[in-house]
Each structure stands twice: as C-alpha cells, then as structure tokens.
Amino acid sequence: MGEQKSTDLGSVKHDGLPYLLPDGSAFNPPIPKSEDKSNRGFNHPQLARMLCPAQKVKSFDKAPDK
C-alpha cells in the first residue's frame, strides 16, 4: 500500500508543477521527469525564487546566484 501511495504522489508532482506558475507559463529550463534531482528545488532558478522567503525576494532578484 505504501508503494502505491508513493507512485500516485510521484505522478501528481510533475502534473501539478505547471499550476505553480502564473498564466500557464512554462518552467525555463524545463523540469524533466527523471530520477535526477540535481536541477530541482533551490537549484532551479524559478523554483528557488518561489521557495525564497517573501522578505528576501528583492535581495534574491538582485543576486540569485548568492
């Protein structure tokens, strides 16, 4: 049962990602459906900005690589 739950959640996360962006825009660079997670979360420029605390967004926008 646990494996089925994991499989279901795994399929939803990729289908749900487009809903995070306004107006149906796409992630750039795209987030591939793969086991490699090195380009997700704080390593992805758009996701990193979304994960940034609201009071730090202006600072992030000035220097996103820091």
Tell me how far apart the alpha carbons of residues 49 and 12 are, in angstroms, rounded to a whole number: 22
pTM metric for this prediction: 0.69
CB 52 within 8 A of CB 60: yes
CA dihedral 19, 34, 2, 48 (to 10 degrees): -50
Tell me how far apart the alpha carbons of residues 52 and 62 are, in angstroms, rounded to a whole number: 13
Cα–Cα–Cα angle for 3, 43, 65, rounded to 5 degrees: 165
CB 49 within 8 A of CB 57: yes
pLDDT tens digit sequence for 12-54: 777 788 788 888 788 888 888 887 888 888 899 898 999 999 9
What integer pLDDT is reported at residue 5 of this predicted model? 60
Domain boundaries, the chain: 2-62
